[in-house]
Amino acid sequence: MDIAVDTNRYVDFMRGDPEVARHIRAADAVALPFVVLGELRAGFACGSKSRANERTLVRFLGQERVRVLWADEATTHFYGRVFAQLRAAGTPIPTSDLWIAALAIQHDLPLYTRDAHFASVAGLATL
């Protein structure tokens, strides 16, 4: 199975959480939405281990089965639908997470996350 990984699960993986490691290692392919990269690098910039964290991220991204999901014009349509669906339901989520959800739906990938609010997104499978 291919999966998209949210920021919190990447952090859990790097902290050595055995269950998270099992899920990520079992995946045939791992996709990191570009927003996740931005969130991670923002965290690195505010921390005391930014160079070490960046090196670890670059090694992770360099694995053959890991790729970055970039937004394109089609993504904007998925984003718009997710935004409208959540607004109509009265269940908004953070803008960053709207992009992550749109990319996961666009690429038909389950999102591996700890954030419960993703359950409100129609058409998004979560792990």
Query: Is 125 inside a domain boundary?
Result: no
Tell me, what's the pLDDT at 107? 98
75 falls within a domain: yes
Q: Does residue 126 sit within a domain? A: no
Between CA 124 and CA 104 the distance in angstroms is 7
CATH of the domain at 13: 3.40.50.1010
For residue 11, give the nearest of 43, 51, 35 by alpha carbon. 43
Query: For residue 85, what pLDDT is reported?
Result: 97
Token output for 92:
């908004």
**Where in 1-127 does DSSP place strands (E)?**
2-5, 29-33, 66-69, 111-112
The pLDDT, as a whole number, for residue 34 is 98
Q: Is residue 127 part of a domain?
A: no
| pLDDT given for residue 16 in this prediction | 97
Sign of CA dihedral 37, 13, 20, 43: negative
Domains of the chain: total: 1
Question: How far is residue 22's CA from residue 18's CA, in Å, rounded to a whole number?
Answer: 6
Handedness of CA 54, 30, 86, 11 (dihedral sign): negative
pTM of the predicted model, to two decimals? 0.96
pLDDT tens-place values along the chain, 127 residues long: 999 999 999 999 999 999 999 999 999 999 999 999 999 999 999 999 999 999 999 999 999 999 999 999 999 999 999 999 999 999 999 999 999 999 999 999 999 999 999 999 999 999 9
